[in-house]
Amino acid sequence: MDDRRRQEKKMTRSNPDNMKKRIGMSVLGVLICGISVGMFKRADLGVDPFQSFMSGLNAVIPISFGVLYVITNVVLLSFAFIFDKRKIGLATLINLFLLGFVAEYTEKFLEKIFPSMSLAGRVILLLAAVVIMCLASAFYFTADLGVSTYDAVSLIISEKQQKVPFKFCRIISDLTAVVLGTILCLIAGFTFKQITGEVGVGTIITAFFMGPLIEFFNVHVARPFLDGKAK
């Protein structure tokens, strides 16, 4: 099955008719991921695992979130550069320089539109953010024009250790990010209420279900969309 998928990927890369579609999938996928991160932060029920790590880091290093996001991803970029340069591409650059700012502006926009939200509204916003993030991630993964530096970690490990499926590698990397983010929040002197605002039910949902959901959308939505056929 893996050999067949690799062969399909080679054929997709070599098809010039697919390039515009792949670029569109990459650009929109990354930007929509940024919007979903802003939705997570506005829902205030816990951000996704990587953003929980970023929040903890931002608590220790109190500078603009967008600037800190760029700096952190430049550091993580070295991992992808060393182990698999193919993971670095258009989507990587967009993610590196724009996603943090898109997330920051989306959160501020939602705060203006919804200055106060009920618990039910926050839950609905959270669930929408989870689905949107996983669908958007599947689109730019499938486009195969680079991935975010954080996404590259679980993808590279999964491909290097072929016996371990991507969804399990993603769960492990997400749980690691959550633990590190919580530790950094504690170091920064966050209260329990502040920590649960960053590491909450939304974090737990994404830590355990984001990998399987991305894989589901890869197989049933993104790949058929790129190949121009229904499955």
Per-residue pLDDT tens for 167-207?
A: 888 889 989 998 998 888 888 877 666 666 567 788 888 88
- Between residues 57 and 197, the one the model is more confident about: 57
Least confident of 39-48, 131-140, 216-225: 39-48
20-34, 199-213, 216-230: range with highest mean pLDDT: 20-34
Query: What's residue 81's pLDDT?
Result: 82
pLDDT band of 230, cuts 50, 70, 90: very low
Mean of the per-residue pLDDT values of the chain: 83
Query: What's residue 54's pLDDT?
Result: 87
Phi, psi of 51 (to 5 degrees): -70, -25
pLDDT beyond 60 at 231:
no
